[in-house]
A and B are shown apart, each in its own frame.
Chain A
Amino acid sequence: MGQDVVDAALEQMECVYARPDTLTDTRFHYCPGCGHSVVHRVIMEVVQEAGIREQTIGVAPVGCSVFAYNYMDVDMQEAAHGRASAVATGIKRVLPDRFVFSYQGDGDLAAIGTAETIHTCNRGENILMVFVNNAIYGMTGGQMAPTTLLGMKTSTSPAGRTVETAGFPLKITEMVAMLPGTYYVTRQSVHTPNAVRQLKKAITKSFQYQKERKGTCFIEVVSNCPSGWKMTPVQSNAWLVENMFPLYPPGDIKAPK
């Protein structure tokens, strides 16, 4: 089709989906098929649609999403490994009327940052914590994460994770749901269009709860790592359903009545 034909066709059409303005034009550095950038995009869609860009401050982690601030076009701070929720606490305490979210992977949030995670939730810090769980350290080359499944092969569990040497996968989302400081705790994913729609709803609700000063909202996103898992993106999403969901089932863990 020539460009004139396309333009003529599009004239009869209306745009129903476009990259949000709250994302920069920068090309994502993530591997093909990675869920991180979907999560970035959905957060930014909510920020755009809610019209809260001028009030939103994000905190980026260390890990694959260390450059999250190159894509999410809002004011952001880059935290030390594991400390995103402490940094977010500092921001929120001095700017209580802003929307503050932290963004972390499994190593960051559930290993090195466990203390900060637990205590931020336990204080009921009025922030949104986004936790992307793909059961592996992607950035450093595919090492075992606290959430790595039993039997799962990584570069530091080459024969598969065993209880004897590495203990059990950490279900930190269920842990924080037990804390009275959390108001809304949910586990979502981005492997299908519907899952993405559900995540968007969860993020929208979380910002609404933050506005109402309800306490900590915590969203785990069970995601993939095609490179680390050594699969194609399509295979990785199928593997995620088959292997991750039995231990990390999607759905609300703690939701207001």
Chain B
Amino acid sequence: MNDFRLMKGNEALAEAAISAGCRAYFGYPITPQSEILEYLTDEGRRRGMIVLQAESEVAAINMIYGAAGAGARVMTSSSSPGISLMQEGLSYIASAELPCLVVNVNRGGPGLGTIQPAQGDYFQATKGGGHGDYHLIVLAPSSVQEMAEFVYDGFDLADRYRNPVMILADGALGQMMEKVEFPEYRVEDHVPPKPWATVGKPPERPANIITSLHIQPEKMEQINLRLQEKYRVIESREVRYEAIHTDDAEYLIVAYGLVARIAHKAVEVARAEGIRVGLIRPITLYPFPSGPIRSIAKKVAGVLTVEMNAGQMVEDVRLAVNGKAPVSFYGRMGGVIPAPEEIVRELKTLAAAHPHAQPAETY
């Protein structure tokens, strides 16, 4: 306890994976997250983890499928282009209901893009990403501490719901160094039995089959209905967010990850200038904290969503707000990080346009 270490976000995440009982890691190098693979190859292997550098992200995610299906706690990590390559496998994993942890250290896109931090993968992460109707549980850390903490949470959620969990970070969180404290975590208290896993068929049970193929449409619909039911449970139980200065807020900023930290600074600056602004930081991007945003939106004169993309989470914010307040958006793209002053400026523009709380039907 209270054993603070100064670590890069990627390394803290990797260290957490080891102590969270991650049995195997399969991955492929890509900037800005290669330290995860490197750290696990060294420190992870030393502490008994199976670490394999695959021939591609496509192979890596399918190794995850196999190993997760065999009952092991498993993880992969990549960055945006590599995560795109994994989408087919993630769809299979979600459909076959295999628990695993996938880390996306988001970089600027589209295409090969840049290696700088971005949030352009929000849609891909939260709306499924691959083919078919499914969701990952998506956790968005905003500090090196959370890069570590969410690994434990991520594995636990994955096992609890038999669902892939994604940690959606960005290049800055992966590369920056901060102090981090690792929690006490007894792996054996957290890994449930997995009687469905393919480990070899004993005489007393039927063969275990891991598959996403159900050729009869009625059966496939049943599978879908069960998945949707699970997602409703996740939505009702697992929403996480942080609310800062929202009690007396006249304006609300919604931002996640690294941008939420910058927005927090902007909130302080704005408050010093007399603008009563609060901040909601979604921690789970799926399930999205629509309820909390909606209830605060009813009381404010305007909502500003700030992201490092062209406006993705803002769509979920608009759905949550549902016309109760005007929603504006400010984003930087291509690996550019917004400064607090830019956010304050956008806030002032919003405040000038909407000086008082408006009746709902106006919007």
Could you tell me which A residues sit within 8 Å of B by CB distance? 53-57, 59-60, 66-67, 69, 73-80, 83, 86-95, 98, 115-116, 118-119
Known: A54-B201, A74-B207, A115-B55. A80 touches B67 (CB 8 A): no
Our pick among A57, A76, A93 for the contact of B52 (Cβ within 8 Å) is A93
Question: Which residues of B lie under 8 Å from residue A115 when comparing CB positions?
Answer: 55-56, 58-59
Contact between chains at A54 and B202 (CB < 8 Å): yes
One digit per residue, 1 when the CB lies within 8 angstroms of any chain A CB and 0 when it does not, for chain B 49-78 equals 010101110111011111111111010000
Question: Which residues of B lie under 8 Å from residue A83 when comparing CB positions?
Answer: 58-59, 62, 65, 89
Interface: B322 (CB within 8 A): no
- Give, as a whole number of angstroms, the nearest-CB distance from A12 to chain B: 32
Some 13 contacts from A to B, beta carbons below 8 A apart, are A53-B200, A55-B200, A57-B70, A69-B211, A75-B208, A78-B96, A78-B213, A89-B59, A89-B66, A91-B198, A94-B72, A115-B59, A118-B55
Known: A69-B209, A115-B55, A115-B56. A89 touches B200 (CB 8 A): no
Contact between chains at A86 and B50 (CB < 8 Å): no
Known: A69-B209, A74-B207, A80-B89. A91 touches B66 (CB 8 A): yes
- Give, as a whole number of angstroms, the nearest-CB distance from A133 to chain B: 22
Contact between chains at A56 and B200 (CB < 8 Å): yes
Contact between chains at B62 and A95 (CB < 8 Å): no
Contact between chains at B23 and A75 (CB < 8 Å): no
Our pick among B55, B69, B89, B201 for the contact of A91 (Cβ within 8 Å) is B69
Question: Which residues of A lie under 8 Å from residue B59 when comparing CB positions?
Answer: 83, 86, 89, 115-116, 119
Question: Which residues of A lie under 8 Å from residue B56 when comparing CB positions?
Answer: 115
Known: A69-B207, A86-B59. A98 touches B200 (CB 8 A): yes
**Assembly CA distance A73 to B65 (angstroms):** 20
Interface: B199 (CB within 8 A): yes
Q: List CB contacts (< 8 Å) of B12-26 with chain A.
A: 23-24, 26
B69 — nearest CB in chain A belongs to which residue? A77
**Assembly CA distance A59 to B92 (angstroms):** 14
- Give, as a whole number of angstroms, the nearest-CB distance from A143 to chain B: 20
Interface: B88 (CB within 8 A): yes
**Assembly CA distance A76 to B198 (angstroms):** 6
**Assembly CA distance A78 to B212 (angstroms):** 7
Question: Which residues of B lie under 8 Å from residue A66 when comparing CB positions?
Answer: 213
Our pick among B201, B211, B213 for the contact of A73 (Cβ within 8 Å) is B201
Our pick among B55, B74, B213 for the contact of A116 (Cβ within 8 Å) is B55
Which of B63, B72, B74, B203 has the most A CB atoms < 10 Å from its CB?
B63
A87 — nearest CB in chain B belongs to which residue? B66
Interface: B210 (CB within 8 A): yes
Question: Which residues of A lie under 8 Å from residue B50 when comparing CB positions?
Answer: 93-94
Contact between chains at B198 and A119 (CB < 8 Å): no
**Assembly CA distance A116 to B58 (angstroms):** 9
Contact between chains at B55 and A90 (CB < 8 Å): no
Q: List CB contacts (< 8 Å) of B22-59 with chain A.
A: 23-24, 26, 50, 52, 54-56, 58-59
Contact between chains at B209 and A91 (CB < 8 Å): no
Contact between chains at A116 and B62 (CB < 8 Å): yes
**Assembly CA distance A77 to B96 (angstroms):** 10
**Assembly CA distance A73 to B55 (angstroms):** 31
Contact between chains at A77 and B207 (CB < 8 Å): no
Contact between chains at B62 and A80 (CB < 8 Å): yes
Our pick among A73, A79, A94 for the contact of B62 (Cβ within 8 Å) is A79
Contact between chains at B209 and A87 (CB < 8 Å): no
